[in-house]
Homo-oligomer: A and B are copies of this chain.
Amino acid sequence: MTSLRQRKIQLFQENNKDKARLLISCPDQPGIVAAVSKFLFDHGANILQSDQYSIDPEGGGRFFMRVEFILPNLSEREKHLEEEFSIIGENFKMDWHFAYAYHIKRMAIFVSKQDHCLMELLWQWQAGDLVADIPVVISNHPDLGPTVEQLGIPFYHIPVTKETKQEAEQKQLKLLEEYKIDVSVLARYMQILSPEFIAAQPLKIINIHHSFLPAFIGARPYERAYERGVKIIGATSHYVTDDLDEGPIIEQGVQRVNHSNNAEDLKRIGRSVERSVLARAVTWHLEDRVIAFKNKTVVFG
């Protein structure tokens, strides 16, 4: 299967060797699209897809944009392009960055004992459907080590207790740095991260919560869903912020259940929802489709 992945990634890089996405978030005002599209045209880029969205467009609103374009010999021109664009960026007070599709993002996965979210990600990765490198998996338990190492991915077991938490996070951060990680995914990692850890990677940590937030925030959501007698359960993937389960939501999914499903059934059914919701959220992040602003996300289709 590795070879399938390698073939797909190689094909991906060939197909995307000149492709980039420009992501913009700025105060709304007339002329932004014109300025950006003129800039790209003047530099010889061909726009493949362009999406934009404004909040409160009539008032002092916020403007969001994602442009995907092709530009010949892009890899040699990255730096120059960014320097030139910085003038527009300054004029319009933009938060902006170019994401180059051929720079495969480096993704760390954090797990505890449950394997379903990890396995879905690894599987889509093996199939070449999830375009990322996965140089490291980190866990507070040793259980999933063999599964991960069997795929040739280094696995680090870093136990976490109240006493060792700070030290454990230092180790984790060092690994993220060593492995040049772009994004971390908490694939049912059952530890609460410290504000310091989160602050070190703002909007770079994606979590999956096993409920349809804001319903059943916190612990034991399936048990509480069962006790409440809901007819639909769900899962939520969001960026991690200091407020537990309150970060910007990237994606949610649901599944119908009924009175004959007990709490164990809900967990089993929910695993399937968690897997697909997390995989979609991660894919969109990897494709630079998500812009977070305050406590929400804009997800460009």
19 CB-based A-B contacts, threshold 8 Å: A30-B41, A30-B45, A33-B41, A34-B41, A49-B52, A49-B53, A50-B51, A50-B52, A123-B123, A129-B268, A212-B215, A213-B230, A227-B295, A229-B248, A229-B296, A231-B249, A259-B296, A259-B298, A272-B276
- With A34-B41, A52-B49: A229-B260 Cβ-Cβ less than 8 Å: no
- A212–B229 contact, CB under 8 A? no
User: A60 in the interface, Cβ–Cβ < 8 Å?
Assistant: no
Chain B residues contacting A299 (CB-CB under 8 Å) are: 231, 258-259
Give the complex CA separation of A259 and B297 in angstroms. Answer: 7
> A234 at the A/B interface (Cβ < 8 Å)?
yes
Tell me which residues from 17 to 57 in chain A have a Cβ below 8 Å from any Cβ of chain B. 29-34, 36-38, 40-41, 44-54, 57
Neighbouring B residues of A58 by C-beta, 8 Å? 70
**Chain B residue contacts of A228, Cβ below 8 A:** 213-214, 249, 295-296
A190 close to chain B: CB less than 8 A: no
Q: Say whether B215 contacts A213, CB under 8 Å.
A: yes
Query: Using Cβ atoms and an 8 Å threshold, which residues of chain B touch A274?
Result: none
What's the Cα separation between A175 and B230 when bound, in Å?
Answer: 33
Tell whether, in the assembled complex, residue A260 and residue B53 are in contact, meaning their CB atoms are under 8 Å apart. Answer: yes
A147 interface hit (Cβ, 8 Å): yes
Q: List chain B residues, Cβ under 8 A from A250.
A: 231
Q: How far is the CB of A253 from chain B (nearest CB, A)?
A: 8
| Extra A-B contacts (17), CB below 8 Å, given A49-B54, A213-B228, A229-B249 | A33-B37, A33-B41, A34-B38, A37-B38, A47-B52, A48-B54, A49-B260, A58-B70, A115-B127, A123-B123, A129-B268, A229-B297, A231-B251, A231-B252, A254-B254, A259-B297, A301-B301
Q: Among B41, B232, B268, which residue has its beta carbon within 8 angstroms of that of A212?
A: B232
Task: Write out the residue numbers on chain B whose beta carbons fall within 8 Å of the beta carbon of A41.
Answer: 30-31, 33-34
A232 lies within 8 A of B258 (CB):
no
| Cα distance, A8 to B117, chains bound together (Å) | 19
**Chain B contacts of A92 at CB under 8 A?**
none
A123 — which chain B residues lie within 8 A by C-beta?
119, 123
The residue on B at minimum CB distance from A42 is: B34
Is A1 an interface residue when CB atoms closer than 8 A count as contact? yes
Docked pose: A272 CA to B130 CA in angstroms? 13
> CB-nearest residue of chain B relative to A40?
B34
Interface residues of A in 98-134 (CB under 8 A from B): 115-116, 119, 123, 127, 129
- Are A301 and B258 in contact, CB atoms less than 8 angstroms apart? yes
Interfacial chain B residues near A254, Cβ < 8 Å: 232, 254
